[in-house]
Amino acid sequence: MSQPNQADQFLIQQIRDGNEDGWRQVVDRYQGRLWAFARRQLHDDQAAEDIVQETFVGLLKGLDRLELWTSLETCLFTILRRRLVDSFRRSGRAQQLRMCAPRSAGQLDDGDSLGDADQWIDRRNVSASKYAEQSEQRTIQERALWRALSNSIEHLRQETKLRELRVFEMVFYAQMRNKEIAELVGMEQQQIGLLKHRFVRRLAEDIQSGTGSGDVVVDDSVLSRLWEEHRPSCPKRSTLGKMILGLLSPVWCEYIDFHIETLGCHACQANLQDLRIDSSQSSAKSVSDRILQSSIGFFRK
């Protein structure tokens, strides 16, 4: 889901080259799902339009620094999420915006921590240059973990090991307790712990073989944060479209229903909602027109 593809890379290069048609393609392709996501959070159509507009402008402003090692959709959702959190803070709602909300009594509250973004860095008594060095090292480690995680999830999909994939999503994405997970999938708690242990060990081995490093330790909280930020197990938009058209097998439909309804993935809910809305509706065109009008100045400087 979150791997960059050639289409993403091509569009980004077009925008960097000042191609207005490339920018229009980006806006037309992604504004619907972002708007659906923002409306679910804000319950205000106008506020959602404004914040989606800010998101696209934010992408343009940060284009020179953009390193697309995940998908363009993930990048845009990340910017949108930050804009929403800022909006919550301005309105006095000091809360985090989690990307999934499982239907579980033991789920984390909005105010619970998802983990410090710098938890692989020891910030005690370090110089600016040392901190920069540690930050760079953290980025290298996280990218290696991301590649290993993406490969493992793709393997589970190819082998149709969807029960295991559900377990790992509940452990790392939803951060649910082993007891709750065991009840949902009909397993013993010890089995959940063993599956998690083996999964993390495989990730460490994959990183070690790919980087030539010595012993590699995969931090659970970092893994959860990467899953939260980049959503590697989310079904592709084309897969959601096939489900709507009745072209998916029952086993995959069952998994996607779990991912969207039980796990409560907000991004996939927004994607599904957008797919079910006729893109020719005047409201969708109005949002695109506003975004393009507000951002076209970036191409005419």
Which pLDDT score, from 0 to 100, does residue 110 have? 36
Q: Please count the CA atoms within 13 angstroms of the CA of 144 that sit on its side-chain side.
A: 22
Which pLDDT score, from 0 to 100, does residue 93 have? 72
Which pLDDT score, from 0 to 100, does residue 212 have? 67
Which pLDDT score, from 0 to 100, does residue 95 have? 62
* Tokens found for residue 127: 């110089």
Which pLDDT score, from 0 to 100, does residue 104 have? 57
* Tokens found for residue 139: 């980025």
**Residue 230: CB partners within 8 Å, gap ≥ 6?**
2, 70, 74, 146
Q: What is the pLDDT along the chain (301 residues), one digit of tens a residue?
A: 556 678 888 999 999 999 999 999 999 999 999 999 999 999 999 999 999 999 999 999 988 888 777 789 999 999 999 999 999 888 887 566 889 888 654 443 333 333 333 333 333 343 434 433 444 566 778 888 999 999 999 999 999 999 999 999 999 999 999 999 999 999 999 999 999 999 999 999 999 887 666 677 888 999 999 999 899 999 999 999 999 999 999 999 999 999 999 999 999 999 999 998 854 454 566 677 778 777 767 776 5
- Which 8-state DSSP code applies to residue 114? -
Per-domain residue ranges for the chain?
A: 1-99+267-301, 101-113+139-232
Which pLDDT score, from 0 to 100, does residue 286 have? 66
Question: Quick one: 21 exposed, middle or buried, by C-beta within 10 A (0-12, 13-18, 19+)?
Answer: exposed
Whole-number Cα distances in Å, 71 to 3, 8, 76, 90, 259: 5, 7, 9, 29, 19
Which amino acid, residue 55?
T
Q: Distance from CA of residue 129 to its chain's centroid?
A: 30
Which pLDDT score, from 0 to 100, does residue 6 have? 84
Q: Determine the Cα–Cα distance for residues 274 and 263; give it in Å rounded to an integer.
A: 19
**pTM of the predicted structure, to 2 decimals:** 0.81
- Which 8-state DSSP code applies to residue 236? P
Task: Produce one character per residue of 37-53: b if its CB has 16 or more CB atoms within 10 Å, e if not.
Answer: bbbebbeeeebbbbbbb
For residue 248, give the 3-state DSSP assignment: coil
